[in-house]
Structure 1
Amino acid sequence: MRLHIGYRLLCTLIVCGSCLGFYLPGLAPVSFCEEGKGTDDCQDKIQLFVNRLDSVESVLPYEYDVFDFCQDNEEKRPSENLGQVLFGERIETSPYKFSFMKKQTCQTVCKKSYDPAKKEDRGRLEFLKNGIQLNYQHHWIVDNMPVTWCYDVEAGQKYCNPGFPIGCYVTPDGRAKDACIINAQFNKKNTFYFFNHVDIVITYHSGADEGWKGARLVAATLEPKSIQHSSGENPCDGPPMEIPGDFKSKVDITYTYSITFEQKNYIKWASRWDYILVSMPHTNIQWFSIMNSLVIVLFLSGMVAMILLRTLHKDIARYNQVDQEEAQEESGWKQVHGDVFRPPQMGMLLSIFLGQGAQITIMTFITLFLACLGFLSPANREL
């Protein structure tokens, strides 16, 4: 007995010792250094990931590769945790490559051409147009943070959306839909405006007087733009990229980006989610709907239980009135009455499964309760 207790204590100490340097996946801070100064504990490359595209006007999400966007030649999919799998996230690398503290202006990612004479090109462009009409949103990720699109709203407030649209559409009657209302140049009837350029701003904490090597990212924002690129000195200084509703002529789309870096040491790494959470609308939990659903579930469960009890009570009373000789001919559920208290063949395995199932059920309800009280981490991008 003492040997068994000592063995369990030793295992506990080993497990605790191994947990001292453990971080939750995706929540550990990552340090960044300037290009050429990267080490194992300080990266000089910033990887931008893309996630699935979704829309509030459609229940069908699409992976990034389904649309005819620029593709990464060395595409890799990071290992997703259980929560990401359950939420249906499809994270993969992107063709947008950055180096820390390296400013870039109007960098070309790729070019796409669509010929109306080719059926395949017509199908790809029509799919993009349908995505614009349904207001499908990009979701980009940098350092496990969403790349947000911040813009001014009513009363001088700023709203940061963890996504940005593919484009916007002006109807044949001249009504600007969705993001087309933010720019007065989007005014041509029956025209799609495609967001093919992004201005990205990476905000970082330099690590001064903090005791860590390198800098840490505290914010990532962008501004989508629609630009008809030219061949001049500044190709990103042009009119909006217009795609007519009637696809009759060849369409060329050039994808570009610009990136700048800003130092803001007053923003702590542990507080880098604050600017997103403050701008999000604070929706009230519908406690009345929750209680109403619970009452309905309990009421229906009670009705089913009463029906079963009345049926079983009649069957059992009828069974007790029959003589034992006549009771030999049994059918239905009565045939298993002798097996109710018979021990199973693998009782230990059954008890383990029951115990684990009970723990999972209890933890599920505890997690839901904490979610209702607002204790979940903002690292969950779906909230």
Structure 2
Amino acid sequence: MVSREIALLVLLCVVGCGVRVGGDGSDHMYKEREHIPLYANKIGPFHNPSETYRYYDFPFCSPDNVREKKEDLGEVLNGDRLVDSPYELNFRVDKPNEILCKKKLTREEVARMRKAVSKDYYFQMYYDDLPLWGFMGRVEDENNVDPSNNKYFIFKHIHFNVAYNNGRVIEINAQTEPDLVTEITDDNEVEVEFSYSVKWRETEITFDNRMERYARSSSLPQHLEIHWYSIINSCMTVLLLTGFLATILMTVLKNDFLKYSIDEDSVDDLEETGWKYIHGDVFRFPKHKALLCAVLGSGSQLLVLAMFIFLLALVGTFYPYNRGALFSALVIIYALTSGIAGYTSTSTYLQLEGNNWVRNVLLTGCVFIGPLFLTFCFLNTVAIIYSATVALPFGTILVILLLWTLVTAPLLLLGGVVAKNNKKVLQVPCRTTKYPRDIPPLPWYRGTLPQMAMAGFLPFSAIYIELYYIFASVWGHKIYTIYSILFIVFIILILVTAFVTVALTYFQLAAEDHRWWWRSVLCGGSTGLFILFYCLFFYHARSYMSGFLQASFFFGYMACICYGFFLMLGTVGFRASSLFVRHMYSSIKCE
């Protein structure tokens, strides 16, 4: 039954992620002079990837009847809005110079175009599933001390270079002619004659390899060297932590086991100290156990979600510019794995003797989706005010709500029902006393925040080199395709998180502080806070993003992603600490 569900999940993901923008032919085979549509997608500032607008929001040449291309869920979530363009790029038909149209720009349109040129606006198009880009215009004397002396021009001619092989389009580039421009420095009405030219050439590159040129930049020798340095750095961190646990922690535990395993006649003469002293409290149920179980359920679901995403990435589903594939996969897999959250949360909640598992299931369903939904409502409102393409239409929002209502919520409840019907008793090696012992005064560095800082620094140091490439891909124009290296780094992140949390849990118990339940979650998930701080650094020091819209989307969605990392790694830290504590107390005799 489980294997059948997994197979169905993978099938749905592949189907949902495999939708591609193509020409009129489904096999991408064309005859000479056959029409291949060129779709105009979106336009926006080069340094603000979230601030994109519809192509025809600007006064470009348009067909008499503009038709929008139907897009799937992932493409809409990606902000893509493809429409027909008037360019005629028929297969293997050269055009030296073709007049597209003549447009008379009003003073308001000139002012808007000038503002767009000053912010490096670029447009994106798709031709037979291949992306192409071009800038709207250029600024002359851009580095002048007085910006008012700058001159602004818009490009009025585009030259298309298209490569083909055996009846298929292999490559396309768009070049704007720097000399064919129209000045828009002053707020005067101007007439622009837009034109284009097309040149076809034959290439030996096969159709199966035509997307490799987009991934070539991420696999250059200097970049691969940095990636491998990142892995070596991460592996050294794991080895150092493993050595630390083996030589220090295990040695101390061995001495503790010897000390606590003396004859019963000598027990009365020995004053119990350290972690054995609190054996009657270490398995005492924590406060806010419903919230703890909800966190563990959501974290387990996100961990499974991440593993499925890596699986699809490693098999080549997320090839460069497979538009919307990642978003489709995230939505579908999250919906189908919600049963894991319901089962894990309810099972743990019942083991902690909870008496309202239905409320716990509802809390589990809201612990991650709730903040994400509120963030989405705010950001979508901002996007609507700016008329940006990242604003989701009502139909897409309705589809997502139906998906949550008809798939996510039932599977979440089903997981809770299965856990309730297979209720397990919490097996612990020590009995819990009726009254808790007092916790001795602890130094400041054993507090929650200092421990979280120590716990999050090492896992973050193992991934921070790779973070730059991920951010530059998600919030920039670089392409990330080395998913095998990313998967290795992710596994190292999990291992480091588990090792660090186990070590801190031992030192906490050795200091006779039995409140390890929530502390292990907070310490394990603290890496998410470090990633959030890195977001601040990246925005101000590593990027040129600006404006309220872009800042809102960057910090809003990155806060949700960091929160997801907190839940996922917090679950890893708790599970590792739980196994360690059970093993530690089962190795001694506790009365």
TM-score, length of structure 1 as denominator length:
0.54
Show the counterpart of 1:252: 191
Q: Deviation string for 1:293-350 (max 9, x for gaps)?
A: xxxxxxxxxxxxx9xx65569xxxxxxxxxxxxxxxxxxx9xxxxxxxxxxxxxxxxx
Secondary structure class of the residue paired with 2:36? strand
Q: Deviation string for 1:73-119 (max 9, x for gaps)?
A: 222222212221121111111111222222112111111123xxxxx
Deviation at 1:55, TM superposition (A): 2.4
Show the counterpart of 1:168: 138
The answer to whether the 8 A contact 2:131-2:321 is kept is: no
Deviation at 1:34, TM superposition (A): 1.7
Using the alignment, how far apart are the partners of 1:103 and 1:258 within structure 2? 8
Show the counterpart of 2:51: 60
Deviation at 1:189, TM superposition (A): 5.1
Q: Which runs of 5+ in 1 are unaligned?
A: 1-11, 36-43, 115-120, 148-162, 178-187, 207-214, 228-239, 292-305, 314-332, 334-354
Show the counterpart of 2:111: 126
Are 2:118 and 1:96 aligned? no
Using the alignment, how far apart are the partners of 1:52 and 1:216 within structure 2? 25
Show the counterpart of 1:194: 154
Secondary structure class of the residue paired with 1:377? coil
Show the counterpart of 1:241: 181
The answer to whether the 8 A contact 1:194-1:226 is kept is: no
Deviation at 1:379, TM superposition (A): 3.9
Using the alignment, how far apart are the partners of 1:106 and 1:198 within structure 2? 10
Are 2:160 and 1:222 aligned? no
Deviation at 1:221, TM superposition (A): 1.2
The amino acid that maps onto 2:168 is R
Deviation at 1:242, TM superposition (A): 4.0
CA RMSD of aligned residues (A): 4.1
Using the alignment, how far apart are the partners of 1:100 and 1:143 within structure 2? 11
The structure-2 alpha-carbon separation of the partners of 1:146 and 1:225, relative to structure 1 and needing over 3 Å to count, comes to same
Q: 1:263 aligned to 192, 199, 202, which one?
A: 202
Q: 2:67 aligned to 76, 91, 94, which one?
A: 76
The structure-2 alpha-carbon separation of the partners of 1:93 and 1:242, relative to structure 1 and needing over 3 Å to count, comes to closer
Using the alignment, how far apart are the partners of 1:94 and 1:379 within structure 2? 20
Secondary structure class of the residue paired with 1:200? strand
Deviation at 1:146, TM superposition (A): 0.9
The answer to whether the 8 A contact 1:193-1:226 is kept is: no
The structure-2 alpha-carbon separation of the partners of 1:174 and 1:221, relative to structure 1 and needing over 3 Å to count, comes to same
Are 2:211 and 1:273 aligned? yes
Deviation at 1:54, TM superposition (A): 2.8
The amino acid that maps onto 1:33 is K
Using the alignment, how far apart are the partners of 1:363 and 1:82 within structure 2? 22
Show the counterpart of 2:319: 377
Using the alignment, how far apart are the partners of 2:82 and 2:301 within structure 1? 27
The amino acid that maps onto 1:253 is V
Using the alignment, how far apart are the partners of 2:142 and 2:209 within structure 1? 46
Are 2:173 and 1:203 aligned? no
The amino acid that maps onto 1:63 is R
The structure-2 alpha-carbon separation of the partners of 1:31 and 1:363, relative to structure 1 and needing over 3 Å to count, comes to farther
Q: Which runs of 5+ in 2 are unaligned?
A: 1-6, 238-281, 291-296, 324-476, 480-591
The answer to whether the 8 A contact 2:102-2:191 is kept is: yes
Higher relative contact order (CA 8 A, sep 6+): 2
Show the counterpart of 2:103: 112
Are 2:153 and 1:136 aligned? no
Secondary structure class of the residue paired with 1:99? coil
Q: Deviation string for 1:12-60 (max 9, x for gaps)?
A: 9xxx9xx9xxx8544753111123xxxxxxxx10110011113243342
The amino acid that maps onto 2:213 is Y
Secondary structure class of the residue paired with 1:128? helix
The amino acid that maps onto 1:47 is P
Using the alignment, how far apart are the partners of 2:47 and 2:127 within structure 1? 26
The structure-2 alpha-carbon separation of the partners of 1:244 and 1:45, relative to structure 1 and needing over 3 Å to count, comes to closer
The answer to whether the 8 A contact 1:170-1:189 is kept is: no
The answer to whether the 8 A contact 1:173-1:189 is kept is: no
Q: Deviation string for 1:114-172 (max 9, x for gaps)?
A: 3xxxxxx222111111111111111111100112xxxxxxxxxxxxxxx2211111247
The amino acid that maps onto 1:271 is N
Q: Higher helix proportion, which one?
A: 2
The amino acid that maps onto 1:191 is K
The amino acid that maps onto 2:175 is E
Secondary structure class of the residue paired with 1:83? helix
Using the alignment, how far apart are the partners of 2:142 and 2:213 within structure 1? 38
The answer to whether the 8 A contact 2:157-2:195 is kept is: yes
Using the alignment, how far apart are the partners of 2:313 and 2:59 within structure 1? 39
Using the alignment, how far apart are the partners of 1:30 and 1:274 within structure 2? 17
Using the alignment, how far apart are the partners of 1:171 and 1:370 within structure 2? 50
The amino acid that maps onto 2:126 is I
The amino acid that maps onto 1:219 is E
Using the alignment, how far apart are the partners of 2:43 and 2:304 within structure 1? 31
Deviation at 1:371, TM superposition (A): 7.8
The answer to whether the 8 A contact 2:40-2:83 is kept is: yes
Secondary structure class of the residue paired with 1:254? strand
Show the counterpart of 2:342: none
The amino acid that maps onto 2:138 is C
The amino acid that maps onto 1:245 is T
TM-score, length of structure 2 as denominator length:
0.36
Using the alignment, how far apart are the partners of 2:159 and 2:209 within structure 1? 24
Q: Higher strand proportion, which one?
A: 1
Deviation at 1:370, TM superposition (A): 4.8
Matches within 5 A, 1:139-154: 139-147=124-132
The amino acid that maps onto 1:29 is D
Deviation at 1:174, TM superposition (A): 4.1
The answer to whether the 8 A contact 2:140-2:151 is kept is: yes
The structure-2 alpha-carbon separation of the partners of 1:362 and 1:174, relative to structure 1 and needing over 3 Å to count, comes to closer
Using the alignment, how far apart are the partners of 1:33 and 1:359 within structure 2? 52
Secondary structure class of the residue paired with 2:208? helix
The structure-2 alpha-carbon separation of the partners of 1:370 and 1:191, relative to structure 1 and needing over 3 Å to count, comes to farther
Show the counterpart of 1:51: 41
